[in-house]
């Protein structure tokens, strides 16, 4: 039983702090990209992937984090930029933008394949990373580790903000990845989104511009999605408050990844909390900690699911286009 609990906590920790859109979101991006492929690209990818689909290989870069050989790629999954900065390869913490360009270069034949990589691995990384950087918190703030250090209650369950955007809102929709991809793909016919440009730097900067919606945790002051978001006031999103309490990224944080369900009505006084590591840590942090945790639910999800769907659509369309362009340049040399 103890071994099962250790495994459970390990899996929860990995899923809540590291994964891009969660498994379903990444498969949606791959599924949409498949609809954009030329016959030539389909033929080449069928050979490189041995009959697998873009959706089916999209989560491999996350799965390998469970193994020692895959843990060295953690900083490939994000490209964090603090407020007030515009993304460039030199301004970011994390390599997602750089590695997308590298994988495109490998598939087009203009760059060497990384040592130990196969072309199948290159394709899987490209599918995954294009999805990652369309998630606003994979182009998040350095100071809160892309929302990992912001604790919220999401429908009564303690999570970090990154986890909410990775998977919780998507899972709440209740659709399979094929159903969600079909739903999102219909947006093309009536969308005014910019789906065309193929510059990863622009994709990252779009994600940065969407961050005010992510951190709008109180009243929903940004009523409409679209246009230039209003400047974000970090204190309105409890950003400064939580970081001052939680301290540096290496110490002082609540072990919130270990919480499954709690009754938020009991949270303010810790009545009903057992003598777990989580409860003891919370008491040490600040007695009134739970009183200040933002409560997110239907209103937050309703406001932001449009952002999520738009970004999944843009990621899928753009992935299909860069694959077509790269594979047409390779002239069949990939093996």
pLDDT, tens digit, for every residue of 67-88? 877 778 999 999 988 877 788 7
Whole-angstrom Cα distance, residue 333 to residue 335?
6
Angstrom distance (rounded) from CA 82 to CA 61: 25
**Which of these, 80, 263, 68, lies nearest to 162 by C-alpha position?**
80
How far is the C-alpha of 146 from the C-alpha of 144, rounded, in Å?
6
pLDDT at residue 120 in the model: 96
Structure tokens at 115: 């040592």
Q: Rounded CA gap, 13 and 246, in Å? A: 17
- Please, which pLDDT band fits residue 90 given cuts at 50, 70 and 90? low
Torsion over CA of 154, 311, 191 and 203, rounded to 10 degrees?
Answer: 140
* pLDDT score of 174 more than 90: no
Average the pLDDT over 262-276 and give the result. 42
Q: Are 148 and 160 in contact (CB under 8 A)?
A: yes
Residue given tokens 């609990």 in the structure block: 5
pLDDT score recorded for residue 145: 86
Contact 15, 167 (CB under 8 A): yes
Q: Which of 87, 232, 41, 29 has the alpha carbon at shortest distance from 147?
A: 232
153-159 mean pLDDT: 79
d(CA 26, CA 37): 17
- pTM of the entire structure? 0.77
Residue range 110-135, pLDDT digits in tens: 999 999 999 999 999 999 999 999 99
Q: Is the predicted pLDDT of residue 249 greater than 50, yes or no?
A: no
Counting Cα atoms < 13 Å in the Cβ hemisphere of 330 gives: 26
CA-based nearest residue to 318, from 207, 170, 165: 207
pLDDT digits (tens, 9 = 90+) for 297-308: 888 898 899 899
158 by DSSP, 3-state: which?
Answer: strand
* HSE-CB for 84 with a 13 A CA cutoff: 3
**CA distances to 43, 162, 227, 305 from 149, in Å:** 44, 8, 28, 22
Question: According to the model, what pLDDT value does residue 177 have?
Answer: 93
**Does the pLDDT of residue 212 top 80, yes or no?**
yes
| pLDDT per residue as tens digits for the range 284-297 | 444 455 555 777 88
A 10 A CB-CB count for 257 gives 21
Task: Tell me the CB-side half-sphere exposure of residue 258, using CA atoms within 13 A.
Answer: 14
Q: Please, what are the domains in the chain?
A: 2-152+166-232+303-330 (1.10.575.10)
What pLDDT, on the 0 to 100 scale, is given for residue 133? 95
Query: 139, 138, 152, 191: which is closest to 309 by C-alpha?
Result: 191
Residue 185's pLDDT is what?
83
**What is the maximum span of the chain, computed from C-alpha positions, in angstroms?**
66
311 neighbors 134 (Cβ within 8 angstroms)? yes
Instruction: Report the first-to-last Cα separation within the chain, whole angstroms.
Output: 46
HSE-up of residue 319 (Cα within 13 Å, Cβ side): 32
Higher-confidence residue: 314 or 15? 314
- Tokens 């498949």 -> residue: 34
Contacts of 24 (CB under 8 A, 6+ apart): 167, 170, 171, 176, 177, 180
């Amino acid at each position: 039983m103890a071994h099962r609990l250790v495994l459970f906590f390990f899996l929860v920790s990995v899923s809540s702090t590291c994964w891009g859109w969660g498994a379903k979101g990444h498969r949606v991006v791959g599924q949409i990209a498949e609809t954009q492929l030329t016959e030539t690209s389909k033929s080449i990818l069928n050979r490189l992937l041995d009959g697998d689909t873009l959706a089916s290989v999209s989560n491999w870069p996350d799965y390998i984090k469970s193994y020692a050989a895959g843990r060295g790629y953690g900083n490939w999954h994000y490209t964090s930029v603090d407020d007030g900065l515009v993304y460039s390869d030199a301004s970011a913490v994390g390599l997602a933008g750089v590695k997308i360009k590298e994988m495109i270069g490998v598939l087009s034949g203009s760059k060497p394949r990384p040592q130990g990589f196969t072309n199948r691995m290159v394709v899987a990384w490209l599918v995954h990373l294009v999805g990652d950087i369309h998630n606003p918190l994979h182009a998040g703030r350095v100071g809160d580790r892309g929302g990992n250090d912001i604790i919220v209650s999401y429908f009564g369950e303690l999570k970090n903000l990154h986890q909410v955007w990775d998977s919780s809102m998507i899972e709440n929709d209740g659709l399979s990845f094929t159903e969600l991809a079909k739903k999102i793909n219909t947006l093309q016919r009536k969308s005014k989104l910019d789906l065309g440009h193929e510059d990863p730097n622009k994709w990252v900067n779009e994600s940065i511009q969407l961050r005010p919606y992510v951190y709008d945790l109180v009243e929903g002051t940004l009523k409409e999605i679209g246009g230039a978001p209003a400047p974000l006031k970090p204190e309105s999103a409890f950003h400064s408050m939580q970081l001052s309490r939680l301290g540096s990224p290496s110490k002082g944080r609540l072990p919130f990844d270990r919480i499954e369900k709690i009754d938020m009505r009991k949270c303010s006084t810790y009545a009903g909390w057992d003598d777990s590591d989580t409860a003891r840590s919370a008491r040490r942090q600040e007695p009134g900690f739970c009183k200040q945790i933002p409560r997110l639910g239907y209103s937050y999800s309703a406001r932001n699911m449009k952002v999520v769907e738009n970004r999944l659509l843009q990621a899928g369309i753009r992935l299909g286009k860069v694959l077509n362009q790269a594979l047409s340049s390779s002239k069949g040399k990939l093996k």
